[in-house]
Chains A and B, each alone.
Chain A
Amino acid sequence: MTSALTARGLQTYYGKSHILHGVSLEVPEGKITTILGRNGAGKSTTLRSLVGLTPAREGAITIFGKETTHLPPYAIAEMGVGFVPEGRKIFANLTVEENLKVPVERPGSWTIATIFDLFPRLKERRNNKGRQLSGGEQEMLSIARALLLNPKLMILDEPSQGLAPLIVREVFRIITQMRAEGITVLLVEQNVRMSLEVADQVYVLNDGQVAYAGSAADLRADEALLQSLAGVSAEKWEIE
């Protein structure tokens, strides 16, 4: 099994605060890998380091066999790495269609036309400004925007955050569909049940370190381990 992405011993800082203490990850090609963990465990920082937004001070990142540790974000994106950032980050001042014209065009099957087939709601709202969209529509737009890069690896940071249960199901359906089309997925989530359902591999982060790494099926089956990893916020893990 080849990995799409490998990270070794990432040490990342925000200014003077030390966030990641040697995080190592392996994201197998064609699978869904999920990173779980409490708020502040370093999940988002890990993703930001991987896509070049907050470069790791130490450690090494390899994507599709190429060292990317110190590459700027656009160069990593150009390699075929899509990123759906936390909080969706759609461009509120642009229309839906204009938002979809911001990403660089990498060759592939995703075009604005095929995106509109997958997300008919976005087609209906193509001339609405980003700020006029509902949370669910914004999430769809954020995913659609990243898909237009025709990524081989898709990285999503809490795509289900703040969405109604029905929309959350839709988001996870799209994520599994990505895998079916051969896109490798790296997913950070708060919604543990749903992400364990769709994921193949799982990492649990705690205080900027990997606390657990293994197959999602194993963790799904081991309720006691799941509870112990969840720690104090066991209740919060019980969404759905």
Chain B
Amino acid sequence: MSETSVAAPADLAELRAMLSAVAGPINFIGGGTDMLIAGRPMPAVGLLIDLSRIAGMAFICADDGGIRVGGATTVAAIAAHRGIATRLPALAEAAAQCGSVQIRNRATIGGNIANAAPAADLVPVLVAAKARLGCIGRDGASRELAICDYAPDRGFLIAEVILPRDGLLPRSAFVKLGPRLDLSISRLNIALLAEFQDGRFGDVRIAAGALGPRPLRLRIAEAALAGRKLEHATLRDFLAALAADVDAAIPGRNSQAYKRRAISGLGLDLIAQAVGLSPRDQLFEDVVQ
């Protein structure tokens, strides 16, 4: 058995050429924060390609159209980016709450997707924003797919995350619940993108993590908010809908009883963040009475 060899291509052109030229197994390493955890097997053979220094894979472009984020962009860079904080605050919030300083400085958005953890913090935001992935196949060619169609075992490298303009909505929020405030793997996380004007919701998209093998849209909760005025009755319907979404997602699981209740508190925090109210606003206090 031959030992693993490593490569650190300087740019995307070199990477593409390498992918199509190398016959044996290829593995990728980005920030390594999920891959190098003790006890997880390291690739024993083939070529290990370092993505963390490739020019053209770490960038954020949030101009007037959509947002594009290079696959090897660090979570810290996303958390600190002014354009993302303006255009999609939920993504900045999810990035800021992901791991610790040390992890955010190395972890990448592409890795957060490719690691395919059910509780990945960035992914619910990307699902709610209808993100598309610009991938590179083993033949070195580009292809684009919806984030929901991505599977880590298909051999596609995530070169960039594309957030099309029509997927973004004016308001967004992200909240998570974990065993501690920082450096915690989410027990539940929720992202919301919404239109909200004159006290009324328009289009609403909500996705949650840690409610199944991969983050999923909460369609019942979306329907409970869409087109409705922000008032007690709407919020009560919304909380009932969130519980119904949990019941539909994890029927019979041990955590169902806990999560169907816990999601109420998270849901109200989510609304508060999206519409710019304090989570302690009387409106929310009244609803949980």
Note whether A and B form a binding pair: no
